[in-house]
């Protein structure tokens, strides 16, 4: 699956990617406890560099949309663990 993102708008591409993934989580396209696609797959899906995908994943982790478990992967977080200030 390929996702089109608007790279013409001001701001960082990683924020645009993170915001798109966050919307996918909020709409239920990506469900709680479901593994997030790998950063390499996200980079391919969004047509961005691996570094951009990593930065987007880090931002999602800071916003509590995802959790990363060492040696296991990154998973969609339970929405009850987010607050309005994180969205």
* Six token digits for residue 32: 């709680």
Alpha helices in 1-87 (DSSP H): 13-26, 39-46, 50-62
Task: Identify the pLDDT of residue 80.
Answer: 84
Task: Sketch the domain layout of the chain as residue ranges.
Answer: 13-78
Asked if pLDDT for residue 86 goes beyond 60, the answer is no
pLDDT at 84 over 60: no
CATH of 13-78, one of 1.10.1740.10, 3.30.980.10, 1.10.10.10, 1.10.3720.10: 1.10.10.10
Between vectors from CA 23 to CA 42 and to CA 2, what angle results, nearest 5°?
35
* Predicted structure pTM score: 0.86
Nearest to 5 by CA among 64, 19, 60: 19
Per residue in 20-75, pLDDT (tens digit) is 999 999 999 999 999 999 999 999 999 999 999 999 999 999 999 999 999 999 99
């Amino acid at each position: 699956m390929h996702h089109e993102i608007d790279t013409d708008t001001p701001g960082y591409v990683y924020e645009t990617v993170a915001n798109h993934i966050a919307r996918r989580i909020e709409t239920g396209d990506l469900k709680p406890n479901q593994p997030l696609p790998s950063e390499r797959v996200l980079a391919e899906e969004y047509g961005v560099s691996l570094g951009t995908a990593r930065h987007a994943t880090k931002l999602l982790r800071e916003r509590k949309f995802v959790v990363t478990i060492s040696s296991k992967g990154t998973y969609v977080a339970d929405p009850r663990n987010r607050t309005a200030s994180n969205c």
